Amino acid sequence: MGEYLTHSKKNKFGIWNYDGTKIPAGWAKHYQACTRVLPSSSFSFKTFKNAGIPEDIMTLVPHGASEEYFTRDDVFPIHSDRKYKFFLNIAQPHTRKNLPGLLDAWGKAFTNKDDVVLVAKVSIKEQKMAFDVSWTNELAKMKKKYPKHAPIIPINQFVEYMSDLYRACDIGISLSHVECFNLPALESMACKKITIASNYGGNVDFMNEENSLLVNGKIGRAPMEYQYWSPHAHGEMFYPDTNHAVEQMQRAVKEYDSLSEKFAPKLEEVRRQYTWDNAVKQILSLVK
């Protein structure tokens, strides 16, 4: 980090996050090159504090949803007449995003007789790094295990306005092992969607039982291939309970109208608070 801030003078802000509980060895010392370090969530704040970064040099500045989530009303064409469309925005299928766990929960939750479809924005590439998984391989495993599963529509192409995809669907879902913030969950909520996510990580700053459906689980060791760059033997992550995930997914469908009505007021609060304009204002307030 130090080399990127050498030309700055008075205000040196490190907008920094790490998707894990143990940052790579040697990284923490670079806080000394900053005026302030700006983690995006309580989870990241705690991770950095545990790594030895002084609390008094950090300010929590949450991420936000982009303007398109508030100003556009276009929808992406989803070629399915299924009533309830679940949306998974996983982009790069890294191990920590728990793609196998999500597909397993989908196979358990619904069959092709249910009026649902899973729309997955995912990169369909062969794995190159230890922390990658193959969408093609994981989908094949799920289809073999659950041959009567509800349909899945992968979207691999570039989408100019991601908010169009969220608006085209009804329920956002993520079952990650660890997220320093979980922007897809926030974006789903910004589009006023019922959102399901792991009850762990950065998203619990803005997700609770009054505005979303959280999936319980347990905290355990993070295998080496689930960590980036410099794995730590004591790294931790969350293991979502598959059965509870199934319950929450089925509940989102069965109680769709009542949950939408219940969550609506709290989703408006999230929409007002978590914007990039607010993040900019908070950063500017730190300028000396």
Residues 6+ apart with CB under 8 A from 272: none
pLDDT at 10: 82
CATH of domain 68-273: 3.40.50.2000
Query: Which of 131 and 281 is assigned the larger pLDDT?
Result: 281
pLDDT at 2: 55
pLDDT, tens digit, for every residue of 41-66? 999 999 999 999 999 999 999 999 99
pLDDT at 8: 60
Return the sign of the alpha-carbon dihedral for residues 164, 165, 169, 173.
negative
Residues 6+ apart with CB under 8 A from 61: 15, 38, 39, 40, 279, 282, 283
pLDDT, tens digit, for every residue of 102-116? 999 999 999 999 999
Give the pLDDT band (50/70/90) at residue 7.
Answer: low
Average pLDDT over residues 123-133: 79
Residue 172 has pLDDT above 60, yes or no: yes
Whole-Å CA distances, 103 to 6, 33, 68, 97, 264: 45, 43, 29, 11, 28
Residue 16 has pLDDT above 90, yes or no: no
Beta carbons of 278 and 64 less than 8 angstroms apart: yes
Give the pLDDT band (50/70/90) at residue 128.
Answer: confident
Give the pLDDT band (50/70/90) at residue 143.
Answer: very high
Average pLDDT over residues 12-33: 88
Give the pLDDT band (50/70/90) at residue 71.
Answer: very high
Residue 1 has pLDDT above 70, yes or no: no
Residue 4 has pLDDT above 70, yes or no: no
pLDDT at 26: 86
Give the pLDDT band (50/70/90) at residue 17.
Answer: confident
Domain-wise residue ranges, the chain: 2-64+275-284, 68-273
Instruction: Provide, for the chain, the percentages of residues in helix, strand and coil under a 3-state DSSP scheme, each rounded to the nearest 5.
Output: 40, 20, 45
Residue 5 has pLDDT above 80, yes or no: no
pLDDT at 65: 97
Q: In the chain, what percentage of residues exceed pLDDT 90?
A: 82
Residues 6+ apart with CB under 8 A from 215: 175, 196, 197, 198, 199, 240, 241, 244, 245, 248
pLDDT at 6: 60
pLDDT, tens digit, for every residue of 249-264? 999 999 999 999 999 9
